[in-house]
Amino acid sequence: MSLDRGSDSVQAGGRVEVEPGVFATLRPKRTVWQSIRFFATRKPLGTFGAVVAIILVLVAASADLAPHDPYRTNVATGDQYSNPSAEYWFGTDHLARDVFSRIVHGARVSLYVGVLSALMGSSIGLVVGVASVQLGGKVDLVVQRFVDAMMAFPGLILAIAIMSALGASVNNVIIALTVAFIPSTARIVRSQSLAITEMDYVLAARAVGAGNTRIMLKHIIPNIFALYLVVFTFYIGGAIISEAGLSFLGVGSPIDTPSWGGMLSGATRQYISLAPWLAVFPGLAIFVVVFAWNVLGDALRDVLDPRLRGTD
Amino acid sequence: MKTYIAKRTLLFIPTMFLVTVAVFVIMRIVPGDPALMILGEGEEGAADNLTVEKLEKLRAKLGTDRPIYVQYGSWVGNMFKGDLGQSYFYEGKPEVTFYLKDRIPTTVELTLMSLVLASIVAVPLGVLSAIKQDSVSDYAARIITLLGIALPNFWVAVMTIFFLVLLFQWAPPLAYEKVWDNPWTNFQQLIFPAIALGTSNMAFIARITRSAMLEVLREDYIRTARSKGLAERVVVYRHALRNALLPVVTLFGFELGRLISGTVIIETIFLVPGMGKLLIDSIGNRDYPMIQAVVLMIAITVLVMNLFADLLYAWLDPRIRYS
């Protein structure tokens, strides 16, 4: 628990002035580079995750540099099911589209869906969880029953049900996954903010007359932020794998969208023995990226919030 | 303990009610009018023969001409009579419950098989990993579990089929045999789907077992057991594992949710006629009453299993005194 938060409420009316040097004896201040080096040496696997995440962002940003148009079908030339070659690095699919270019563009879809749905799901969940504790009483009871009910649906099933109603589109996938992420975030955030509400510094803040809003913004949310960041990181991986799953089932991104999951379904499954590269490369892309976000989430959890650390 | 059971069971009722509301609301965000969709989607030119009378007749038949709360009320009311609605797609035998009864046993069998397989591998792996902490085998086990959690089950399934075709010219069978008709064929048909389904759960259970074992092995009663001179095997299995399995039990409900999500994908790939495949087929058929019924059944199953897991946990762990 950091000491510099919440100290403003110790004295009524005005901040407690603390010499910057006081905390230096408790924890040496690190430069950004030192922090990165510290993280890299302590958490090599997490660093690997961070590097893959950065590569994913770069690939998604520069997807237009891909050698071929991911949508262009080329059946006339008879280039369907080409083996991986210098022209087509990862081969071509049943419509003679370049698999490598589709994977590169698929990174854009994955990242777009992953970041947006994780951000919205965890943020709305954060607000619901914190508000539920602050408003307390009946509101908390009712909100928690809603959370219970939503948690009865396994995430993917809820997303499938929503997608069946909304229809296949990338933005609908984001809506469906956001809804699926809210209840579990709200539950985790609630239990954490309940614990924080019991802390002495919150009691002290109340004693000097701080209202609900102030306590929420100045004490609870800053102290939950580490948890929020960890949840957000894990959800990006979760959203990427879910988007792939939905598109694989044909209820996610529209069929011609270059989505990693969609690339594994349909013709790929039918002609897998003829063209195994169609299944190998998109699958590897999903696997490596999800693995990376998971280990990054694990490492962030260990570094940011030791209370959450498991024994693994 | 009794108050806890009563409280926990009572909470089940409002949650159940909200679950039915949630399913109903999700299925009503469908844009457009189902009657119009059904009439418009028939054979060529069906839309041209569309008349207001036909539309109103179908609306009356589907019940969509009534106010929304009446529709909800009759849906829940019929549910108590064991009627979950009429399929839009299967015209000969439209009762949704008929298809559910046919499909549920298959999915239950697949889920149980995969859970058993996953546990057989995962628990020893987790125990080994914990008692040999920081050894080579521990690192190997941890890497396997980390990779297993990130492996998408649909990719595992697709690659499993690929290798089966490559090695044995095996393909998912078109005709599915039920376990009571032909147990051996049924086992052969379900074993690979069960393995593909269980991979990530195996990894997850192994991970939980490892961390629970590590925690328990540091407890005082383990030191006591060792200092009494008990054999290490007895300490590990009698004293440690029994207590370490408690958190594994609590996560059962959560695991079940993951498994059910997985069955949707695995059944679709391996052509297993269970609930998951029914759900995906019904989405293709725009058979909303069927989707609604399948999603509801899944949610009820998870709720009941969670209740069961919580009660089991309270019963298993006498240290817990619920107020």
Residues of B in contact with A150 (CB under 8 A): 22
DSSP state of A102: H
**Averaged pLDDT, A281-292:** 92
B237 confidence band (pLDDT: 50, 70, 90):
confident
Distance from CA of B265 to the nearest CA of A (A): 7
Distance between start and end Cα atoms, chain A = 22
Least Cα separation, residue A124 to chain B (angstroms): 18
In the stretch 204-233 of chain B, residues with CB closer than 8 A to chain A read 207, 210-211, 214-215
Q: Is the pLDDT of residue A186 over 90?
A: yes
Set out the domains of chain A in order of their start, with CATH numbers.
Answer: 42-308 (1.10.3720.10)
* B298 and chain A in contact, CB less than 8 A: yes
Residue B265 in this model has a pLDDT that exceeds 80: yes
Question: Using an 8 Å Cβ cutoff, are A283 and B158 in contact?
Answer: yes
Average pLDDT for A170-177: 94
Please, where are the H alpha helices in A6-154? 21-24, 32-42, 44-61, 99-135, 137-151
What is the predicted pLDDT for the residue at A265? 83
Q: How many CB contacts within 8 angstroms connect chain A with chain B?
A: 140
> Whose CA is closest to A102, among A55, A138, A51, A66?
A66
Is A177:A190 a contact under the CB 8 Å cutoff? no
The pLDDT tens digits of the residues spanning A248-275 come to 998 888 888 888 988 888 777 777 777 7
Q: From A154, which residue of chain B is nearest by alpha-carbon distance?
A: B257
Mean pLDDT over all residues of chain A? 83
Distance in angstroms (rounded) separating the CA atoms of residues A1 and A307? 10
DSSP A27: S
In angstroms, the separation between the Cα of residue A40 and the nearest Cα of chain B is: 19
Q: What is the pLDDT of residues A188-225, one digit of tens each?
A: 999 888 888 888 988 899 899 888 888 888 888 888 88
The percent of residues in chain B predicted with pLDDT above 90, rounded, is 19
Helix pair angle (B68-80, B2-28), 10° resolution? 130
Higher pLDDT, A20 or B117: B117
Q: Of chain B residues 17-46, which have a CB less than 8 A from chain A?
A: 18-19, 21-23, 26-31
Assess whether pLDDT exceeds 90 at residue A126.
Answer: yes
Which of A164, A276, A283 minimises the CB distance to B155?
Answer: A283
In chain B, which among 116-145 make CB contacts under 8 A with chain A?
142
B305 Cα to chain A: minimum distance (Å): 10
Q: In one letter, which amino acid is A256? A: D
Question: Searching chain B, which residue's CA lies closest to the CA of residue A249?
Answer: B265
Q: Which residue of B has its CA nearest to A294?
A: B150
What distance separates the 2 farthest-apart alpha carbons in chain B?
A: 88
Residue B93 has pLDDT above 90, yes or no: no
Tokens of B185: 């064929």
Chain Cα centroid distance, residue A188: 15
CB contact under 8 A, A279 and B260: no
Q: Which pLDDT value is given to residue A8? A: 40
For A272, name the nearest residue in chain B, comparing CA atoms only: B162
Q: Which two tokens stand for residue B316?
A: 């298993």
Helices (H), chain B: 2-28, 34-40, 52-62, 68-80, 96-131, 136-150, 153-168, 183-217, 220-227, 232-234, 242-250, 252-270, 275-284, 288-316
Query: Is there a contact between B265 and A248 if contact means CB atoms under 8 Å apart?
Result: yes
The string over A31-65, giving b where at least 16 C-beta atoms fall within 10 Å of a residue's C-beta and e elsewhere, is eeeeeeeebeeebebbbbbbebbeebeebbeebee
Question: What sign has the CA pseudo-torsion A43, A45, A47, A53?
Answer: negative
Contacts of B161 in chain A (CB under 8 A): 269, 272
Query: Given A156, A241, A311, which is nearest B264 (Cβ)?
Result: A156
**pLDDT number for residue A312:** 42
Contact B249, B313 (CB under 8 A): yes
DSSP-derived letter for residue B85 is -
Of the pLDDT bands very low, low, confident and very high (cuts 50, 70, 90), residue A23 is: low
Span B121-127, average pLDDT: 91
- Mean pLDDT value of segment B240-244: 86
Phi-psi region of B202 (alpha: psi -120 to 50; beta: other; left: phi over 0): alpha
Q: A92 forms bridges with which residues in the sheet?
A: A98
pLDDT of residue B18: 92
Residue B194 pLDDT exceeds 90: yes
Higher pLDDT, A52 or B87: A52
Give the whole-angstrom CA distance, residue B55 versus residue A138.
45
pLDDT at B182: 80
Q: Which two tokens stand for residue B211?
A: 């961390």
Judge: A272–B162 Cβ closer than 8 Å, yes or no.
yes
Q: Which is nearest to B242 in space by CA: B123, B83, B107, B81?
A: B123
Band the pLDDT of A311: cuts 50, 70, 90. Answer: very low
Q: Closest-CA residue in chain A for B142?
A: A312
Amino acid at site A170: V
Nearest CA in chain A to B18: A149
Query: How far is residue B270's CA from residue B41's CA, in Å, rounded to a whole number?
Result: 29
Q: Which CATH architecture has domain B105-273?
A: Orthogonal Bundle (1.10)
pLDDT for res A10? 42
What's the pTM?
Answer: 0.85
Distance of alpha carbon A235 from alpha carbon A121, whole angstroms: 9
The per-residue pLDDT for A179 is: 94
Residue in A146, A165, A251 nearest the CB of B27: A165
For residue B213, what is the nearest residue in chain A, using CA coordinates?
A311
Distance from C-alpha of B180 to C-alpha of A54, rounded to nearest angstrom:
53
Closest partner CB to A276 (pick from B155, B162, B207)? B162
Considering only A15-19, A279-283, B306-310, which range has the smallest mean pLDDT?
A15-19
Query: Of B26, B33, B147, B286, which to mutate for an interface test with A (greatest number of A Cβ within 10 Å)?
Result: B26
Phi-psi region of A136 (alpha: psi -120 to 50; beta: other; left: phi over 0): left
Over residues B140-166, the pLDDT tens digits come to 888 888 888 888 888 998 888 888 888
3-state secondary structure of A71: coil
With a cut of 50, say whether residue A13 has pLDDT above it: no
Contact call for residues A129 and A189 (beta carbons, < 8 A): yes
C-alpha to C-alpha distance for B104 and B93, rounded to whole angstroms: 17
The dihedral of CA A291, A296, A302, A304: what is its sign? Answer: negative
Contact A184, A158 (CB under 8 A): no
Which among B27, B166, B211 is the nearest to A312, CB-wise?
Answer: B211
| Burial zone of A251 (CB within 10 Å; 0-12 exposed, 13-18 middle, 19+ buried) | buried
A155-166 helix and B2-28 helix, angle to the nearest 10 degrees = 20
Examine the pLDDT at A20 and tell me if it is beyond 70.
no
* Radius of gyration of chain A from its Cα atoms, rounded to whole angstroms: 24
Q: Boundaries of CATH 1.10.3720.10 in chain B?
A: 105-273
CB burial string B204-237: b at 16+ within 10 A, e below: bbbbbbbbbbbbbbeeeebeebeeeeeeeeebbe
Model confidence band, residue A120 (pLDDT cutoffs 50, 70, 90): very high
B154/A261 Cβ within 8 A: yes
Residue A269: its H or E element: helix A267-270
The verdict on a CB contact (< 8 Å) between A161 and B291 is yes
Do the chains contact at A269 and B215, CB–CB below 8 Å?
no
DSSP state of A16: P
Q: Write down the pLDDT at residue A52.
A: 92
* pLDDT number for residue B64: 73
**Minimum-distance CB partner of A287 among B31, B151, B258:** B151
Q: What is the pLDDT of residue A18?
A: 54
Mutate to test the interface with A, among B155, B252, B267, B285 (most CBs of A within 10 A): B155
Using the Cβ of B280 and the Cβ atoms of chain A, whether some distance falls under 8 Å is answered with yes
